[in-house]
Amino acid sequence: MSDCLIKAFSGCTCPPGECAEKPLTPAPVTFVSWRTQAIACLTFGFLAAIITAAWMETEFKDQDLSHQEQVSWK
């Protein structure tokens, strides 16, 4: 494969069937509209915010319970 790249960039032609072979089926091209992208981005961000808030709530609750005897109420 590296020989093919070297040949392609050096200007030498490849023998038929060695390097310059086209694929049998073209790569699939998918188009995602900007609305779909925006909705997916907002949904992912909203879910990330909810998960982060829930995780932080448990972290702070654990910290409060572990330090509750060190807090002085004056």
Predicted pLDDT at 42: 98
Predicted pLDDT at 70: 64
**pLDDT confidence tier of residue 28, bands split at 50, 70 and 90:** confident
Tally DSSP H helices, then E strands, for the chain: 2, 0
Tell me the pLDDT tens digit for each residue of 34-71: 999 999 999 999 999 999 998 888 777 666 666 666 65
CA separation for the pair 18, 26 (Å, rounded)? 19
Q: Residue 60 carries which side chain, given as an amino acid letter?
A: F
In order of 11, 12, 23, 65, the CA distances from 6 in angstroms are 9, 8, 20, 66
Tell me the pLDDT tens digit for each residue of 3-20: 555 555 555 566 666 665
